[in-house]
Amino acid sequence: MKLLNLLTGVEFDAELTPDHPACRRGQAVVVVGGEVIDPLGWEIIELSDAERAELPWHWTASLLEEITS
């Protein structure tokens, strides 16, 4: 999964994992550099089908239109 920081314009590799202490009820979280991040200020620029299936609902607004089409 790749993310774009909308404030800095820098791309980051992110991990989508349900194996993090911040996970609730097995729901996956998005991790960059070992830290869980929230979707505010981020745009998803690359996402596999498997990652899309596990994406937390509050991250769906961060998807690019091209990815969802």
Lowest mean pLDDT, pick from 20-24, 34-38, 62-66: 62-66
Alpha helices (H) in the chain, listed in sequence order: 49-54, 65-68
Q: For 16-42, what is the mean pLDDT?
A: 88
pLDDT value at 51 more than 60: yes
In the chain, beta strands by DSSP E: 2-5, 11-13, 15-17, 29-32, 35-36, 42-46
Q: What is the model's pTM? A: 0.82
Question: Angle at the Cα of 39 (from 36 to 44), degrees rounded to 5?
Answer: 105
Mean pLDDT of 14-42: 89
Residue pLDDT, tens place only, 12-22:
999 998 888 88
